[in-house]
Amino acid sequence: MKVAVVKYNAGNIQSVIYALQRLGVEPQYTDAPEEIISADKVIFPGQGEASSAMRYLKDRGMDKVLSQLSQPFLGICIGLQLMCAHSEEGDTQCLGIFDLQVKRFKAERQNQKIPHMGWNSMQCRDNSLLQGLQDPYLYYVHSYYAEVGPQTIGTTEYIVPFSGALNRDNYYAVQAHPEKSSSQGQRILTNFLKL
Amino acid sequence: MLTKRIIPCLDIQEGRTVKGINFLDLRDAGDPVELAAYYSQQGADELVFLDITATVEKRKTLVDLVTKVAREINIPFTVGGGISSEEDVQALLQAGADKVSVNSAAVKDPELINRLAGRFGSQCIVVAIDSKHYEGQHKVHTHGGRKPTELNTMEWAQEVQDRGAGEILLTSMDHDGTKSGFANQLTAQLAARLTIPIIASGGGGNAAHFKEVFTAGGADAALAASIFHFKEVAIPHLKSELQASNIPMRI
């Protein structure tokens, strides 16, 4: 199985690669459109800033490539946010795979810390990406979130309910870091590789 | 519900785990990679690696260690100790660290926090603050706690948040190594003032101490070292006791 991990100017790519290696997959880390188009599975990881990430993708014509794929595609963390329509972070037009707005958390009372950092549970809908998981605790670290919409398959609550996981056709996304979420995160990656 | 985090800290010297009482009397407590895997299995929510000798003895082994740890474990970890440039941070994040913590270098050059947060995002920039009660005030210390500064702990914490830090690792030098409880009052003052998460460190000796720092102290996470390394407190037991006391825990 050929798994492509999309290369762009985001941090923490190595953890995703190690997580896949632990599952016996040797991914290709690439920003070459032909490699991504021909892969069996595509993972769009990351941790970073939305406007600079989108600029990197657009400069290479990658925005169009990523939004027209037909194989299983998994966005992680900022990957999920970049798959939405628009992000408040840097007032950025994103890929528009999910028709959702990405907003910044706003504390409503004292002790609601931002970023949302740590382990939180997610309420799952029946979906093959989340098979075998019941309100899994996953590791989150983010200051922006995607609203809940019809494509939401997992809802996480922090200050407000937000999209913890999304799915539309071949496109999947999780806000948490499955590569850092112990056995339950590993299950999400395993499920994705089986799609 | 977002849970409170239990974080074992692995102090590193020359690639080995050490933990000193009040940072001075160092003892070897094992192999960091093995310990990391063990803690991950035990239910630790996160790990922190601090190269406590980094600002005194320069070394390049930290990136190798980060690589080995990242290959083995699937929970987040932070790396700190002697990090003073964007290049350092780039190398550690690339090797697989989730966050980096800066301490002395941020005190010396506060703009560093802005640059790091701007380039890598606030969420992976932790500012470690070593605080010690000194002439009636909480003062920031640097260089593994050896060097007092003129900075007031509260004011510095506010400044690092304003500059873009994503989290604060607050170590009370007065409590560190005493196993008599965390600096709950100071932690609570910071928690009330700041909007970023606070990891409390220094003084945790038993489950009651952790409960206090999460309730009275308002901490988001609590960090300890030797009590875990020498198995005086077992993480599964600690977490189930805390959960029984209505502290949200990932079990």
pLDDT digit string, tens, across residues A57-108? 999 999 999 999 999 999 999 999 999 999 999 999 999 999 999 999 998 8
| Residue B25 annotated as catalytic | no
Checking B202-206 for CB contacts under 8 A at 24+ apart, the result is: B202/B171, B202/B172, B202/B173, B202/B174, B202/B175, B202/B176, B202/B177, B202/B178, B203/B172, B203/B175, B203/B176, B203/B177, B203/B178, B203/B179, B204/B179, B204/B233, B205/B178, B205/B179, B205/B180, B205/B181, B205/B232, B205/B233, B206/B179, B206/B233
pLDDT of residue B26: 39
Token pair belonging to B164: 């873009």
Residue B149: how many other CB atoms lie within 10 Å: 17
Tokens standing for A106? 């706003």
> Which token pair is A168?
């539309």
Greatest CA span in chain A, whole angstroms? 49
List the 8-67 stretch of A: residues with Cβ below 8 A of B: 11-15, 18-19, 21-22, 47-49
Comparing CB atoms, the residue among B3, B93, B123 nearest residue A141 is: B123
Within A39-141, residue ranges assigned H as helices are: 50-59, 62-67, 78-82
> Model confidence over B138-148: pLDDT tens digits?
999 987 778 89
- Is residue B11 flagged as an active site residue? yes
B54 pLDDT band, cuts 50/70/90, is low
The matching CATH number, chosen from 3.20.20.70, 3.40.50.300, 3.90.330.10, 1.10.287.90, for B5-244 is 3.20.20.70
Pull the structure tokens for residue A12: 């923490």
Tell me the pLDDT band of A127, cut-offs 50, 70 and 90.
very high
CB contact under 8 A, B221 and A118: yes
Q: What percent of chain A has pLDDT over 70?
A: 98
Give me the mean pLDDT over the A41-63 stretch: 89
Q: Do B45 and A177 touch (CB under 8 A)?
A: no
Residues in chain B: 251
Q: What distance in Å separates residue A182's CA from the closest CA in chain B?
A: 5
A177 touches chain B (CB under 8 A): yes
Q: How far apart are CA B19 and CA B168, in angstroms?
A: 21
Q: Which residue of B has its CA nearest to A185?
A: B74
CA distance B1 to A20: 28
Can you tell me the distance from the alpha carbon of B50 to that of B131, in angstroms, rounded to the nearest whole number?
16
pLDDT of residue A114: 87
Partner-chain residue, chosen from A15, A114, A185, that has the shortest CB–CB distance to B98: A15
Which residues in chain B are contacts of A143 at CB distance < 8 A? 122-123
Per annotation, catalytic residue among B130, B174, B176, B220: B130
Q: What value of ipTM does the predicted structure carry?
A: 0.88
B30, B16 Cβ separation under 8 angstroms: yes
What are the pLDDT digits (tens) for B198-216?
Answer: 999 999 999 999 999 999 9
Structure tokens at B86: 């964007």
Query: Are A181 and B74 in contact (CB < 8 Å)?
Result: yes
Which residues are bridge partners to A32 per DSSP? none
DSSP letters for B156-186: HHHHHHHTT-SEEEEEETTTTTT-S---HHH
Asked if residue B120 lies in contact with residue A11, where contact means CB atoms within 8 angstroms, the answer is: yes
Strands (E), A65-151: 73-76, 86-87, 92-93, 101-104, 116-124, 137-142, 144-146
Q: Tell me whether strands A160-168 and A171-174 are parallel, antiparallel or unpaired.
A: antiparallel
- Contact residues, chain B, for A138 at CB < 8 Å: none
CB spacing of B197 vs A186 below 8 angstroms: no
Q: Which of A13, A14, A190 to mutate to test the interface with B (most CBs of B within 10 A)?
A: A14
Task: Say if CB B121 and CB B93 are below 8 A apart.
Answer: no
Q: Which CATH class is domain A3-194?
A: alpha beta
Instruction: Say yes or no: A134 contacts chain B, CB-CB below 8 A.
Output: no
Torsional sign, CA B85, B171, B18, B142 = positive
Which letter, b or e, does each residue of B26-43 get, where b requires 16 or more Cβ atoms within 10 Å of its Cβ? eeebeebbebbebbbebb
CB atoms under 10 Å from CB of A63, counted, come to: 19
